[in-house]
Structure formats: C-alpha cells, structure tokens
Structure 1
Amino acid sequence: MANFSILLASSEEKTSGGNPFAPDMFDYRSSNTFNYFHELNPERRRLISLLQDRIEADDKVADLIGLKGDALEAAIQTDLALFDAPLTSALDRYSPGVLYSSMNFQALPTGAQRRLLENGVIFSALFGVLRPDDLIPEYYLNMNAKLRGVKSAKEYWRKAMSPLLNERLADKVVWNVLPDDLEDAWIDQHAYKEMIRVRFARVRKGKRTFQDQNALAGQFVNFVVREAVEDLELVRPWVH
C-alpha cells in the first residue's frame, strides 16, 4: 500500500451536470462513501449558506467568483442550487483544468488510478479538502473570497480543516504540487514523514522561466502514481 499523499489545487474550470441520484455529500446522517473528509460537512454547509446569502444580497458577486457577463450569471445560478445539484467525482468535475487533463487518468493502469484516488488531496475553496473520488457539485468560489464574518475562504479553511488534514498526512511522504498561495489555507504541523515541494522551471538562454506549471504538475502526478514513488531519488528517471 502506498504511503504517500499528493497535495493538489482544484480547478477553476469545471464540468457541468452529474448524477442526481448520487449519495448526498452534505447529509452527514447518510453514508460517508465518496466523502472522505466528511467531518468537514458542517463547515461546508455553513460556507455555502454564507455564499448564497451574499449572492442574494447582490454584494459584489463578481469578486467572489471571478467571472463576468453571461458566465457570471450562470455561475450565480449554479451556486444558488448547490444543495440540490447533481454530483460527480472531484476528478471528473475538475477534468477540464490543465492540471487534471495532464494527469491522463484514463490511460493510467488500474493500480495507478487507485493510488491517485486514494492518495490525492485536493484543496477547494468551497469544500476545504477532497479526495479525487469524492462526489461534489459544480460550484464557483475563489480562495480569496470574503463573506460575512469570513476574511477569506482561505482563512476559513485554515482554521477548520488543518487539524483533520494534519491527522490524515501523519507519517506519510507528501508530494506538494500546490501553488504557493494555497499553502496559506493550511496550518502545517509537520506531522508527515517528509514533504517534497515540487516546482518546475525551464532554463532558456541562461534564464530560468516558470511556464506550464499546471501541465508539468499533472504529468509529474501521473509518474508518481504510476511508479508509486516515495523517494525523491526515484524521480530522476522521469522524462518530460
């Protein structure tokens, strides 16, 4: 069994739709299947209610979502329907994003797919943290969004999810491909065995550039779960 976790960002781009008959991830009286961090459900419900209250107050909604025009109006209607929305896995929901499409999940061997589903940890502005196979609705919210009594979604989850995340990462090797600013959503107690921060740079004409971060991160995740890598030295054969 793999003893690593991979910290991932969610995607601003999302698929629509899902299964209207999937287990209700917000009802903590029901099965917790496909809701690995179900302990966060009360905090999720509260944040969704705060989001919907602000939308209904028409209070600078574009600042919450980061969209304009018709796309903003569609996102507003999506967020207002969150509690009754159809669900699909986080992996499928975020699949239009470059990070997730670059993982090429469907082409992975079965064992590698399982390692990604079981060991991926996704940071989400609305849900705190998720496993890739957790069922979620389509939603729109950014980590810097301010809500009533909440300085930012990032600060909200920093307090709410950190104890649980630290517990789940205990004694593991952690591959961290998060953008730097997302790490602020977590109070890191260093409970893990080792953390390896992964960043990508290209050297062109003697200058270092940081382009294609999401695409390279997705390819790297593919390699880690395919080879079950738990040691930095074993990354050396990776070609990209």
Structure 2
Amino acid sequence: MLVLLPPSEGKASFGRGAPLKTESLSLPGLTPAREAVLGELVGLCAGDEEKAREVLGLSEGLRGEVAKNAELLTAGARPAGEIYTGVLYDALDLASLDAAAKRRAARSLLVFSGLWGAVRINDRIPSYRCSMGVKLPGIGALGAYWRTPMAAVLPEAAGNGLVLDLRSSAYAAAWKPKGEVAGRTASVRVLHAPTRKVVSHFNKATKGRIVRSLLTAGAAPKGPAELVETLRELGYVVEVEPPTGAGKAWMLDVLVDEIH
C-alpha cells in the first residue's frame, strides 16, 4: 500500500542536524528536479526579500520564512515525519506509533511537496516554505513543473498494490495515477455527515486518523474494495463511488459527525 499525503504549511523548525543531501532522498529519479527547484528557491530568497515574499504568497507576519529558505543548503535537516506539523499530522501522531507501525509508515507514506516533489517520512529535510501553488520565476508553476518527473518515477513507487490518495487538490495536480495504477487507486473525501460538505478541519484530522488506524491495525488492503471493508471494520462510515470505467480511480466518502 502506498499512501499519498499532502504536506503541511506550518513546519517544525530545527536548528541542529546535518545539512540536506539531496542524493540521499528517496525516489532518486526526482533528484535533478529537486535540485533545480531548490536552487531557484534559495536564489530567490537570498535576493529581493519583498519579491520573494510576493512570489511565495507570504504575509508580513511570515517574513522570516524568506530568510529561512535562503539558508536551506546549510540548515539542519531532520526526518520529514518530524518536520511536517498541522492538523493531519497531529492526528496521525507518528512519534507515538509502536515500532511495527513506524516501520509500516516508513514503507507506505509518501508526502508531496512543492520543493521536493515527494519524500518519505524518514527522508531528512530542512524546514522550508514553498507550496505547490507557487510560481517560481525561472521554473514556473510548480504543480505543472512536477508532472513530468513524477510521471516517470511514481508508477514504480506505487508497485502493484493499493494507492490511497489523501492529497489536497493542489498536490494531486502534480501526479495523477493513470491506467492500471488508477484502477487500484482510492481517493478519499471526508464529509460532515449532516451537511455532506467538506470541512477543512474535519477533512485533515480524519485523514490523519484513518492513516493511523491502518498503521496501528497492521492493515494491508490489496485494492480499493478491500480498503472499504477494512475501514468499515475499523469503525468508519464509508460511502463508495466505484470507477466509471477502466483507468479510473475509486472515490470514497468518509462521513463524520464530529472530531473527538
């Protein structure tokens, strides 16, 4: 099972640790693209601060993120699972998983990123600020930029099993499973049961809880239909929209009343 996650806008800051080594990151086929984005981002942020803030869409209160990006080549790096914070990652709570669940997380979780393309949770990265919606001057829109390298690398990473897609739309734009891979992909929405509407907090927190539930249970559904059964056994209310044809992903709606 491969689980596709969005990153978090907010990230933990770590001042210590060895600097980033791009060649040591998972999915080495993405290395040239990563280095191109990294170089462009560092150059932008080491130059005109106001221009960098505008390009990155940062408020006045986030001005310090520009200086942080300018030092990415020498900043301390930590496992991505420690860098990403926010509602989804709080609910997932990787640090409190037992050893077996942590091993499953290292194998199965893939976090998408405007800067790195995608990383596994044990990949060591520095804290940064660069969303998939950014348009870098020398590279262009990152969502479009990543499509070609992702298309070359991600099908192999997906292997032969289930792909559980929990990404937000901006990050889903960087890679869309196609053909046979799409047929074993399940995309999940979390809906507030009384209104049938997506609510951001419900959505993110429940996705984190779903991943945690699968990891702690040692669940390994082989396809979307088996995933539906597994989630229901774990206590989730799931409605299914089977694919409309070959090469189409499944759509699963998880219904929640409230987050506990």
Do both proteins adopt the same fold according to a TM-score greater than 0.5, normalized to the shorter chain?
yes
RMSD across aligned C-alpha pairs, in angstroms?
1.9
- In 1, Cα distance between the equivalents of 2:230 and 2:17? 43
- In 2, Cα distance between the equivalents of 1:149 and 1:70? 26
1:128 aligned residue: 117
2:28 aligned residue: 38
| AA in 1 matched with 2:133 | N
Deviates more, 1:187-196 or 1:142-151: 187-196
Q: 5 Å matches for 1:132-171?
A: 132-171=121-160
Q: CA deviation at 1:147?
A: 1.7
1:239 aligned residue: 235
Give unmatched runs, 5+ long, in structure 1: none
- TM-score, normalisation: structure 1: 0.86
Q: CA deviation at 1:155?
A: 1.0
2:21 aligned residue: 25
State whether structure 2 residue 87 is matched by structure 1 residue 98: yes
1:199 aligned residue: 189
- In 1, Cα distance between the equivalents of 2:59 and 2:170? 24
1:145–1:152 Cα contact (<8 Å) kept: yes
Q: CA deviation at 1:191?
A: 4.6
2:196 aligned residue: 208
- In 1, Cα distance between the equivalents of 2:214 and 2:17? 33
Q: 1:123-145, CA deviations, whole angstroms, 9 ceiling, x for partnerless residues?
A: 00000010011100011112121
- Quickly say closer, same or farther: Cα 1:223–1:229, change in 2 above 3 A: farther
- In 2, Cα distance between the equivalents of 1:149 and 1:191? 35
Provide the aligned length of Structure 1 versus Structure 2.
226
| AA in 1 matched with 2:232 | R
- In 1, Cα distance between the equivalents of 2:150 and 2:55? 21
- TM-score, normalisation: structure 2: 0.80
- In 2, Cα distance between the equivalents of 1:148 and 1:215? 34
| AA in 1 matched with 2:73 | F
1:16–1:93 Cα contact (<8 Å) kept: yes
SS at 1:166's partner residue?
A: helix
Q: 1:74-95, CA deviations, whole angstroms, 9 ceiling, x for partnerless residues?
A: 111111101111000111000x
| AA in 2 matched with 1:84 | T
Q: CA deviation at 1:187?
A: 4.2
SS at 2:65's partner residue?
A: helix
Which structure has the higher relative contact order (CA within 8 Å, separation 6+)? 1
| AA in 1 matched with 2:62 | A
- In 2, Cα distance between the equivalents of 1:90 and 1:189? 27
SS at 2:4's partner residue?
A: strand
1:122–1:131 Cα contact (<8 Å) kept: yes
What is the aligned-residue identity percentage?
26
Q: CA deviation at 1:70?
A: 4.1
State whether structure 2 residue 53 is matched by structure 1 residue 62: yes
- In 2, Cα distance between the equivalents of 1:160 and 1:57? 29
SS at 1:111's partner residue?
A: helix
SS at 1:83's partner residue?
A: coil
- In 1, Cα distance between the equivalents of 2:71 and 2:107? 29
